[in-house]
Amino acid sequence: MIELGLADGSLIDELMELTAQSIGHLEIQEHFNIIKEIGRGKYGKVLLVTHRFRGTPMALKVMPKASTKLQGFLREYCISLHLSCHPCIVGLFGIAFQSKEHYCFAQELVIGRDLFAVIQPKVGIPESSVKRCVLQISSALEFIHSHGLVHRDVKPENILLLDSQCCQVKLADFGLAQKRGTIIRFVAGTLPYMAPELCAVALLDHQKEVTAAPLSIEPSLDTWAFGVVIFCILTGYFPWERCMGSDSFYQEFADWCTMEKEAYAEEDIPPLWRRFTPEALEMFGKLLALDSIKRSTVGAVKAYMEIDWLKKENGNQLQRTGQGKIHSTGRGADPLCRASVHTGEVSAAERLFRWTCEITKSLETSKVTVCLCHSPLNKKKTKKEISVGIKNVVLLHNQD
């Protein structure tokens, strides 16, 4: 058992140095039976394997040396190993090695789906399941933050389900994790989960540099992403595309946040936030505080577990807004479509959970016509929606 020790993340540096000195050379097929590939991304791939001598099933993460820096591999492995004793974080076997062409490490095999796969568009998942998931992920994030680390990639795709009711979930993928206080000068593109201060240092298409000051990696980035995840799984929508002034949905939310809360009326609340109870809006206000210094810790959600988050109408919780048909993505029979890094242009994967329409008072009781197009989004004219796909075995990584 590794002693978790220091809260400033400095133990990671020691683990990386020791691992670099001891990492062995072996070929995958000499020690593992490859059953099948269960995940693939920019980082490489994940293989379902069994140990040739012990028969233990594992998920083997395989990263090409041609596109992976040794320090990046060591950091992800050591952070994952450092935190894997928590029951709500994917475990590791302590097996790391390099082959002629790859860096590899073995993870606990989680057979099931990720959280993203069970979200119904425009509906989300039941509030009771959301709360079970939120409690576990907040515990995992508190644990991560208490050891001086920041996950940096909190999203439904990285939350793995061991059952369909979210009774047991695990946080995965530490490919973007960093020590608290690490300075970054820019990131490539944006995601809906990224906090405003992180979007400020995003390098979009046709940009050669960013004008914002370098950013210190802090737990508040995870808090913001966590708040967006809660919104997504409760509603089946993204609240916005990216946290920039050019995004009308984000700007509407930001304007509402700056209002005097004692003075605003129901109609001042952005339309798809009106489904939440006052207590839930208070919780979101803490998790999604525009000023990162005023943002709460992820543990703030614990105070809101015993109250309703969604308003009720005629005894039923409101988990739908608007009407409309779900159209095909135009990609044949494959509906699988997940949020990807936004670089200024709209791709099919980025449309998942986009707002169905610009909801105004005049549209709240109107039937919405749904259509798809591949042009950049004009939120005042374009109405879009894409259904959710399902994967059976998920152990994915989305490293830039």
User: What backbone phi and psi angles, to 5 degrees, belong to 207?
Assistant: -95, 135
* Per-residue pLDDT reduced to its tens digit, 198-226: 999 998 877 888 888 999 999 999 999 99
| 122 is an annotated ligand-binding site residue | no
CA pair distance 327, 25, nearest whole angstrom? 50
3-state percent breakdown (helix, strand, coil) of the chain, nearest 5: 30, 20, 50
Q: Distance between CA 218 and CA 224 in Å, rounded?
A: 11
Whose structure tokens read 């105070």? 303
**Residue of 180, 128, 164, 150 lying closest to 307 (CA atoms):** 128
Question: How far apart, in whole angstroms, are the C-alpha atoms of residue 305 and residue 94?
Answer: 36
- pTM, 2 dp: 0.78
What does CATH list as the number for 115-275? 1.10.510.10
pLDDT of the residue at 316: 54
Q: Where in the chain is the domain with CATH 1.10.510.10?
A: 115-275
| Gap between the Cα atoms of 175 and 396, Å rounded | 10
pLDDT tens-place values along the chain, 400 residues long: 344 445 666 789 899 999 999 999 999 999 999 999 988 888 899 999 999 999 999 999 999 999 999 999 999 999 999 999 999 999 999 999 999 999 999 999 998 889 999 999 989 999 999 999 999 999 999 999 999 999 999 999 999 999 988 999 999 999 999 999 999 999 988 899 999 999 999 988 778 888 889 999 999 999 999 999 999 999 999 999 999 999 999 999 999 998 876 667 788 899 989 999 999 999 999 999 999 999 999 999 999 999 999 998 744 555 544 333 222 222 222 222 355 444 444 333 333 333 333 322 333 333 322 222 222 223 333 333 322 322 222 332 333 3
- CATH code 3.30.200.20 region(s) in the chain: 10-107
Residue 223 belongs to what H/E stretch?
helix 219-235
Specify the length of the chain in residues. 400
- For residues 40 and 398, the answer to whether their CB atoms sit within 8 Å is no
Report the CATH fold assignment for 10-107: Phosphorylase Kinase; domain 1 (3.30.200)
Rounded-to-integer distance, Cα 267 and Cα 376, Å: 29
181: tokens are: 């206080």
Classified as helix, coil or strand, 171 is: strand
Burial of 235 (0-12, 13-18, 19+ CB in 10 A): buried
Cα separation of the two ends of the chain = 31
Rounded Cα distance between 178 and 22, Å, is: 22
What is the longest distance spanned by two Cα atoms in the chain? 69
HSE-CB of 274 using CA atoms within 13 angstroms? 17
Write out the catalytic residue numbers: 153
